[in-house]
Chain A
Amino acid sequence: MSIWKYANPTQFMKTTGWMLPFVSIAAGVCIVTGLVWGFFFTPDDFRQGSTVKIIYLHVPSALMAINAWLMMLVASLIWLVRRHHVSALAAKAAAPVGLVMTLIALLTGAIWGEPMWGTYWAWDPRLTSFLILFLFYLGYIALWQAIETQDIAADLTSVLCLVGSVFALLSRYAVNFWNQGLHQGTSVPVATGGRTVADVFFVPLVISMIGFGLLFVALLLLGTRTEIRARRLKALLNREMARDQDRQQPSRAAQNEGTQ
């Protein structure tokens, strides 16, 4: 059977119900392993001293900040094309996680930057792009909160995500053009297959990255399940309210019929 069977909320809840504990535990194991290994059992860097240990938080969170937005983009497209509520709610659930990941990336970057570059902040292309990404997350979340009707909110936020993604890409190149920057190149360039981080740091870094990825999945599942329940809750409460109103004010039609 195809992946689309999970568009059915009941099927989604059933499957993710037993998946969630496993993913959470896997995430916990990887993160603890990665961070403990990185913090306690790696040497200091020649140039960066002990601050290199921040890499085990900074790189994974930055990676997830981007990936969360990409996932939201795909989920938004699926909602616009196939109208699966699970997809829209998954995008909604992913946003706060992406926001916090972006914040952690910015924070750890700033703390790392101070001893290394002499400043907490610099208008370097990569930092600036992350700050812009933070704003995009804020706007997306704010729009979801502002619109009453959830289906319309899903539609509008999906369009915002699409348009925002185009502009995020545009901004990336604009900012590169605007300021050349002092942030180092990618630590683990997947495309080129090369690597700029020394071996002794590499393995715990990868474990941390996997851990953060699993954490994102776990929180995504948790959040989507909550949103699905919340949607059902709202529908039931609305139905209750409508029933109560009917009981208090018997329909005008029935009254008119009596007088005629």
Chain B
Amino acid sequence: MMPDLGKYQDAVLSAYGGSLLLLIGMIALMIWRARSVKKQLEDVEKRST
């Protein structure tokens, strides 16, 4: 399945690995913050009604 990357295997894999880590990390953080703020807002709105 994995193509033969030859002598550049480390470079290509680390490029893909690092980038995907950064992307997934950023997405996960943003989703986590979105959920956290949404929940806090719902709690406060419930309290004030």
Near A by CB (< 8 A), chain B positions 26-49 give 26-27, 30-31, 33-34, 37-38, 40-41, 44-45, 47-48
Interface residues on A, range: 35 or more
Given known pairs A50-B6, A96-B26, the reply for A114 and B11 (CB within 8 Å) is yes
In the complex the two chains form, what is the Cα distance from A233 to B36 in whole Å?
Answer: 11
* Chain A: minimal CB distance from B38 (Å): 6
Residues on B with C-beta less than 8 A from A35 are 16
Enumerate chain A interface residues (CB-CB to B < 8 A): 35, 39-40, 44, 49-51, 53-54, 57-58, 61, 96-97, 100, 103-104, 107-108, 111-112, 114-115, 215, 219, 222-223, 225-226, 229-230, 232-233, 236-237, 239-240
19 more CB-based (< 8 A) A-B contacts, given A39-B16, A111-B14: A49-B6, A50-B6, A50-B12, A51-B12, A53-B5, A54-B12, A96-B26, A96-B30, A104-B18, A104-B19, A104-B22, A108-B19, A111-B18, A115-B7, A219-B26, A219-B30, A223-B30, A229-B37, A236-B45
